Chain A
């Protein structure tokens, strides 16, 4: 395609400061161009900075490094040529549908009858006729998002930016709205010809986008781009569509469940932030499957969690040696089967033995032993911040505590702000004897 480039991010980086003082790098050296008449989907695990990039495109934030260009000119302030649709709708509850839809018109110099026409056209495009005088709280989620779309369409934007627009909707409503978005895009009367959508759903990306950009996390970066040239309207159960979905699955799996680097076994890996019950739940589910295995995306669908979460659970189980992940297949290991057959106490013993070998826990235990079995939370938090600058230390800490408690390896006194090694005193006493 030889279309003009509308939006372009050049070597963009973005950083945030967390309340605890930690500096989080959301994007590092990301370059991406969006051309006219394109539908671009940004996919990837949560925390990969895809929404951050969307906000940079909208001019809602400035990059820490690099530049964002609109038609070759550096973006300064909010991009007037774009409109945005939000996951949480972001409607003002005290304004009626009409007033919400008209929000962006005045700033663009549309007044009086022209304004009324623009609102009526947008309301009509998304099928909200009859609801003009309703307040958002009177509407269902799907209708609210229609207002969100109408508000964006009313200003006849050159580019429509969407941040998980169907994420907060039930599946039926989401499906319905999704096909309407495709219709809108293909309808020259709607006037929108370039879409950028951030999404969690692989099917959604394949259904809508002509180009799919896969992001990796820690810090956010572009992993891979995939051109999707299936003809519109796309049919979700067609073999071509499924093949495309599988390809994207494979890329995402490689992003989410990277094959373990064989070289450095002692490298510190963060423990995925998942709960104990989620990991055991996964094993329970795998036990019900033939041969105790299944592709990660199928598991996610069966268990009703998104693939991002699913892959975190799988990684946790993998670090404990309960599953292996050849490609996108999750396979229950012999160790995993044994653990599931054990009673509660034995399972805890087995988990303790495993956890003590996990590099991060091993480091924590060593640190505790050096300090007579007990250290202050702050010390551990500082350590985590240094080793994993891209992960909020507090939540990683909470995960360590939960697993440590479960395996009866660690104890934590929230009041005193100290973490201690269980069974330490007894061993210390034995040594003195």
Chain B
């Protein structure tokens, strides 16, 4: 059976073979890193007074609302981006070849490294107000939300049955109508499920995004993250507890008021008739459906839209007559094969030039690093790599048995699903300082403690994947193992573990990504006024940020991106392919 609460695929990254496009994309990204960082250097933003954060409980609801609106705003941008990106990649084969590797890389590199450049750049654009800082925070949340949404939309466009497309074409629907009435509805389920995951992912760096130090400057935005960070600085335990509580309340409210109703509503847009799963329910949607007011509002809105259309018609007319003329020129031109080839050639040349320029900028920045710096970077990378792998291993050790037990019992899964969802959405870095303080009590240093923190940031992906894989094992297979009286160990070895393995690998990919990202905040922690750090790539990046050491920052981020992307391609991808081939439940 299928469980309503668990998405069957948790945004598995589209792992592909390393190709020319990847190299181009890597160079381009390197260029972006370098450009953003040098941008930050050139524009020494005027020091603006840091916002004072009020630690009284009464201020907390306001701060929570601020943080929430940033998250929602970023999510809306992410949706717009996903629709545009997914559509372009699905419609144009040339775009597909560049955009897919780009997506794959973007979702696996530590975007946090872009923060300093982004903040300084935007601050210099809006020097007098906090707009720049706000935009930077929203953009950072966006970078944690957008990629899996785009991938989900792309996949659903590619998986759309041909007859449906044909039916729309035969009906004479223009592309825009097909987009809104066929392509978007068909993707709605994936977009909502992934939106949920994205929202949770967006909270991850909440604290850093809202309270951020660069050199001797302190950038702060009013929000729950900065509240927590100030509470930590002052060692104010009640305030910390309140911040955690507020975060939990916010996550639960968003889940109940936004996501549950959406999940129930998008059931309507299922393409397959097979409704094996119990339909999910939502009290909010029930309430809205029962209420008269929304229906009235819908009627009014429709009327308003119609009269607006009527009013707009006279204005539209000249555009309508001019539009095709403007559009037709390039269209006719592009109908010729030579023009098409020329256009494609120009595009390729432009991209190649940008890639070369980007690589050159990055090179200039990185060559400022001495041999000693490189040695330091490599040692740090090795240490962090070891921590990431141990974190993945540790997470596996507890999540696999737990996931199998939960996934085996639909009742347990249904009961625990909301709890796990809230816990998983909670931004782990908010807990880091608290966990580290506890560790110090029992005498564990940050060197080892950082591993535990990375477990915190990656484990849920594995748990979710194992639960959903086990829950989707056909009932007959389970019954067969019962009938043949397999002892429990044999049952696990012959059924549950192999069936969960492909999902486990998918979980590993995401968990390792989360751990790498987490290392930036896990290896370098400020709590109670003191700074703790341990050697590692993450702490090196954080330190370089704090001391405004831009070459080291660029080198660190480039190295981390390279390791993550390389490992994805060389290790995870072949493993995933093998696992899916060998342990697929489809015969």
Q: Are A108 and B172 in contact (CB under 8 A)?
A: yes
Residue from A90, A95, A104 within 8 A of B163 (CB atoms): A90
Stretch at the interface among A33-41, A77-85, A249-257, A367-375: A77-85
Q: Are B166 and A103 in contact (CB under 8 A)?
A: no
- In the complex, what residues of A have CB within 8 A of residue B181's CB? 92, 95
Q: Are B273 and A137 in contact (CB under 8 A)?
A: yes
A60-B170, A137-B273 given; A90·B582 CB < 8 A: no
- In the complex, what residues of A have CB within 8 A of residue B273's CB? 93, 137
- In the complex, what residues of A have CB within 8 A of residue B161's CB? 88, 90
Q: Which residues of B contact A (CB under 8 A)?
A: 161, 163-164, 166-174, 181-182, 185, 268-271, 273, 581-582
Which 3 pairs of residues, A with B, have the shortest CB-CB distance? A107-B172, A104-B171, A90-B163
Residue from B171, B268, B582 within 8 A of A107 (CB atoms): B171
Q: Are B170 and A82 in contact (CB under 8 A)?
A: yes
Q: Are A103 and B173 in contact (CB under 8 A)?
A: yes
Residue from A90, A108, A155 within 8 A of B167 (CB atoms): A90
Q: How far in angstroms is the closest Cβ of chain B from A303?
A: 24
A415 CB within 8 Å of chain B: yes
Q: Are A78 and B169 in contact (CB under 8 A)?
A: yes
Extra inter-chain contacts (11) besides given A91-B167, A108-B172, CB under 8 Å:
A58-B166, A60-B169, A78-B170, A78-B172, A80-B172, A84-B167, A86-B166, A93-B273, A94-B185, A94-B269, A107-B172
A89 to B166, CA, bound (A): 11
Q: How far in angstroms is the closest Cβ of chain B from A76?
A: 11
Q: Are B268 and A103 in contact (CB under 8 A)?
A: no
Q: Which residues of A contact B (CB under 8 A)?
A: 55, 58, 60, 78, 80, 82-84, 86-95, 103-104, 106-108, 137, 151, 155, 414-415
Q: Are B185 and A90 in contact (CB under 8 A)?
A: no
Q: How far in angstroms is the closest Cβ of chain B from A156?
A: 13
Residue from B172, B174, B271 within 8 A of A93 (CB atoms): B271
A137-B273, A415-B582 given; A90·B173 CB < 8 A: no
A93 to B273, CA, bound (A): 9
Chain B contact residues, majority secondary structure: helix
- In the complex, what residues of B have CB within 8 A of residue A414's CB? 581
What are some 12 contacts across the A-B interface (CB < 8 A)?
Answer: A60-B166, A60-B170, A83-B170, A89-B163, A90-B161, A92-B167, A93-B269, A93-B270, A94-B268, A95-B181, A104-B171, A137-B273
A84-B166, A137-B273 given; A92·B182 CB < 8 A: yes
Q: Are B173 and A107 in contact (CB under 8 A)?
A: yes
Which residue in chain A gives the minimum CB-CB distance to B272?
A: A93
A287 to B99, CA, bound (A): 60
A60 to B166, CA, bound (A): 7
Q: How far in angstroms is the closest Cβ of chain A from B260?
A: 20
Which residue in chain A gives the minimum CB-CB distance to B266?
A: A94
- In the complex, what residues of B have CB within 8 A of residue A86's CB? 163, 166-167
- In the complex, what residues of B have CB within 8 A of residue A106's CB? 172
Q: How far in angstroms is the closest Cβ of chain B from A313?
A: 22
Q: How far in angstroms is the closest Cβ of chain B from A414?
A: 8
A78-B172, A90-B161, A104-B171 given; A55·B166 CB < 8 A: yes
Which residue in chain B gives the minimum CB-CB distance to A78?
A: B169
Which residue in chain B gives the minimum CB-CB distance to A161?
A: B170
Which residue in chain A gives the minimum CB-CB distance to B582?
A: A415
Q: Are A90 and B172 in contact (CB under 8 A)?
A: no
- In the complex, what residues of B have CB within 8 A of residue A82's CB? 170
Residue from B164, B174, B270 within 8 A of A90 (CB atoms): B164
Q: Are A92 and B170 in contact (CB under 8 A)?
A: no
- In the complex, what residues of A have CB within 8 A of residue B182's CB? 92
Q: How far in angstroms is the closest Cβ of chain A from B398?
A: 31
Which residue in chain B gives the minimum CB-CB distance to A77?
A: B169
A60 to B268, CA, bound (A): 28
A81 to B273, CA, bound (A): 32
Which residue in chain A gives the minimum CB-CB distance to B275?
A: A137
Interface centre among B167, B169, B172, B174 (most CB of A within 10 A): B167
- In the complex, what residues of B have CB within 8 A of residue A151's CB? 167, 171
A86 to B170, CA, bound (A): 11
Q: How far in angstroms is the closest Cβ of chain B from A424?
A: 26
A214 to B346, CA, bound (A): 48
- In the complex, what residues of B have CB within 8 A of residue A93's CB? 268-271, 273
A91 to B174, CA, bound (A): 17
- In the complex, what residues of A have CB within 8 A of residue B581's CB? 414
A137 to B185, CA, bound (A): 16
Q: Are A92 and B169 in contact (CB under 8 A)?
A: no
- In the complex, what residues of B have CB within 8 A of residue A78's CB? 169-170, 172
Which residue in chain A gives the minimum CB-CB distance to B167?
A: A90
Q: Are B167 and A103 in contact (CB under 8 A)?
A: yes
A86-B163, A87-B163, A94-B185 given; A58·B271 CB < 8 A: no
Which residue in chain A gives the minimum CB-CB distance to B181?
A: A92
Q: How far in angstroms is the closest Cβ of chain B from A288?
A: 31
A94 to B181, CA, bound (A): 9
- In the complex, what residues of B have CB within 8 A of residue A92's CB? 164, 167, 181-182, 185
- In the complex, what residues of A have CB within 8 A of residue B167's CB? 84, 86, 90-92, 103, 151
Q: How far in angstroms is the closest Cβ of chain B from A138?
A: 10
- In the complex, what residues of B have CB within 8 A of residue A90's CB? 161, 163-164, 166-167
Which residue in chain B gives the minimum CB-CB distance to A105?
A: B171
Which residue in chain B gives the minimum CB-CB distance to A155?
A: B171
Q: How far in angstroms is the closest Cβ of chain B from A363?
A: 28
- In the complex, what residues of A have CB within 8 A of residue B163's CB? 86-90
A83 to B170, CA, bound (A): 6
- In the complex, what residues of B have CB within 8 A of residue A58's CB? 166, 170
Which residue in chain B gives the minimum CB-CB distance to A148?
A: B167
A136 to B238, CA, bound (A): 56
Q: How far in angstroms is the closest Cβ of chain A from B160?
A: 11
Which residue in chain B gives the minimum CB-CB distance to A58?
A: B170
Q: How far in angstroms is the closest Cβ of chain B from A349?
A: 29
Residue from A94, A95, A104, A415 within 8 A of B170 (CB atoms): A104
Interface centre among B161, B168, B269 (most CB of A within 10 A): B168
Which residue in chain A gives the minimum CB-CB distance to B185?
A: A94
Which residue in chain A gives the minimum CB-CB distance to B182?
A: A92
Which residue in chain B gives the minimum CB-CB distance to A95?
A: B181
Q: How far in angstroms is the closest Cβ of chain B from A112?
A: 12
Q: How far in angstroms is the closest Cβ of chain A from B434?
A: 46
Q: Are A84 and B170 in contact (CB under 8 A)?
A: yes
A415 to B577, CA, bound (A): 11
Which residue in chain B gives the minimum CB-CB distance to A55?
A: B166
A103 to B170, CA, bound (A): 9
Q: How far in angstroms is the closest Cβ of chain B from A219?
A: 21
A60 to B170, CA, bound (A): 8
- In the complex, what residues of B have CB within 8 A of residue A84's CB? 166-167, 170
- In the complex, what residues of A have CB within 8 A of residue B170's CB? 58, 60, 78, 82-84, 104
A84 to B168, CA, bound (A): 10
A245 to B174, CA, bound (A): 43
A137 to B163, CA, bound (A): 17
- In the complex, what residues of A have CB within 8 A of residue B168's CB? 103
Which residue in chain A gives the minimum CB-CB distance to B270?
A: A93
Q: How far in angstroms is the closest Cβ of chain B from A93?
A: 6
Q: How far in angstroms is the closest Cβ of chain B from A71?
A: 18
A107 to B581, CA, bound (A): 46
- In the complex, what residues of A have CB within 8 A of residue B271's CB? 93
Which residue in chain A gives the minimum CB-CB distance to B172?
A: A107
A91 to B181, CA, bound (A): 12
- In the complex, what residues of A have CB within 8 A of residue B174's CB? 107
- In the complex, what residues of B have CB within 8 A of residue A80's CB? 172
Q: How far in angstroms is the closest Cβ of chain B from A198?
A: 13
A93 to B172, CA, bound (A): 19
A365 to B32, CA, bound (A): 57
Q: Are B172 and A104 in contact (CB under 8 A)?
A: yes
Q: How far in angstroms is the closest Cβ of chain B from A64?
A: 14
Interface centre among B161, B163, B168, B269 (most CB of A within 10 A): B163
Q: How far in angstroms is the closest Cβ of chain B from A161?
A: 8
- In the complex, what residues of A have CB within 8 A of residue B171's CB? 103-104, 107, 151, 155
